[in-house]
Chains A and B, each alone.
Chain A
Amino acid sequence: MRRECVRAADLLAAMTAGPEPELSNDELRRHADACESCREMVTVVSALRGERERVRRTTTVPSAGLVWWRAQLRQRQQAALRATAPVTAVHAAAVVAAVVLAVVLATSVAPFVGMPSLSNWVPAVPSWVASPGTLATDFPLLRYGLMLGATAWLILGPVALYFALRRD
């Protein structure tokens, strides 16, 4: 493998000193003509510096005002997301709690309306988990409480879900 010429750093410094990638130093130019590594350096630096200067002269970039405005808008959006993060967490917790409550009430009411309990479909589930309604059988007052809760849920559940999921 060829190694980099020891004059490469001098050559690069000379070519990048001015706006145009010219090699004004005669001694360095003679060296570059004779040295393959430095000739490559001249080829590459001339092409890239020349292209950069051309782009600098001819390109129109988006305006600073537009970028500034977008940056401010992004800051406000991020602040808004931070501000609403706790509310979003409460919404998520409310939805989870509502779903759990619905399942509990459904399995509680199921035996009273002749529907099979959860343990019929999933035998591995303990009976007191699959059908908390058995508790109601043992405690009749609890039975009326559960019925009342189920009715309230049927009425209030959709309203609660609406408020939890709505967006202004």
Chain B
Amino acid sequence: MRRGLVVAGVGRVDEDALDAVEPLDMNEDAFRAFYDLTSSAVWAYLSHITGDSHAADDLLQETYIRFLGAHRRWESDAHRRNYLFRIATNLAHDRHRRNRLRRTESFDEARAEATWPSSAAEAGYEQRADLRRALARLSPRERQMLWLAYAEGSTHQEIADTLGLRAGGIRVLLFRARRKLAVLLTLRVAPANVEGGRTP
């Protein structure tokens, strides 16, 4: 009888052919340590640039799956971490593009309200609601830059690498985005429906 394995979407494949499976970039223990160290930061980034914690769960898993299959050499821990955020950014960007084609909102404020884990009784609930509304009024790029710079503490060069922008332009873009968010937070903006961060 033929030795083989049935793979979903592919059919039966000889086991000998699967000997050519490339090993993942890390062993399981190293991956678990790296994941424990970085996953909550990547999840926070994804949930705040998409406004959807369920989407953040899915994108987080896909980010690490692609990271493990990347087969790259890391110059440093920072390089490895920045690459992780770059994958996450690209996945969020693809999701945003798909949502635009389907004409659904990329940052759904109501969904964010429902899915971000917080309750009215929790301390700082109002401030978080203000932040959520303010972020909803920014463009995806502005949300990404602000989060990387001020929540993650990334340098301008790291932000440029992660977002695929020129490092020289980051300072000005960040300054404008920061002013915009500061004004929105100070004004305590009312809820609004947004498409890709643009106010209707």
**Interface set of A (CB-CB < 8 Å, partner B):** 2, 4, 12, 16, 39-41, 43-45, 47-52, 54-56, 58-59, 61-62, 64-68, 70-72, 74-84, 167-168
Contacts and interface: CB of A to CB of B under 8 A. Distances in A.
A4 B146 contact: no
Interface string B12-44: 111001101110100010011001100111011
B7 A80 contact: yes
* Highest count of chain B CB atoms <10 Å: which of A39, A45, A56, A83: A83
The prevalent SS among residues of B at the interface is helix
Given A48-B147, A49-B151, A74-B69, A79 B24 contact: no
B61 interface: yes
A62 B128 contact: no
B169 interface: no
A50 B122 CA distance: 14
A51 B131 CA distance: 9
A84 B13 contact: yes
Nearest to B174: A4
* Highest count of chain B CB atoms <10 Å: which of A40, A71, A77: A71
Given A47-B127, A62-B61, A40 B182 contact: yes
Contacts of A54: 118, 124, 128
A165 to B, nearest CB: 11
Given A47-B127, A65-B32, 13 more contacts: A2-B179, A40-B183, A41-B178, A44-B150, A47-B130, A48-B131, A48-B150, A56-B41, A59-B43, A67-B61, A68-B68, A72-B24, A75-B22
Given A55-B44, A59-B44, A67-B65, A80 B18 contact: yes
B24 A47 contact: no
Contacts of B118: 54
Contact of A56 (B7, B40, B182): B40
27 contacts: A2-B179, A16-B150, A40-B179, A44-B181, A45-B150, A47-B127, A47-B181, A47-B185, A48-B150, A49-B150, A52-B44, A52-B151, A54-B118, A55-B47, A56-B40, A61-B39, A61-B60, A62-B60, A64-B32, A67-B31, A74-B69, A75-B22, A76-B18, A76-B21, A77-B9, A84-B17, A168-B12
A43 B131 CA distance: 11
Given A62-B57, A80-B13, A167-B11, A75 B24 contact: yes
B6 interface: yes
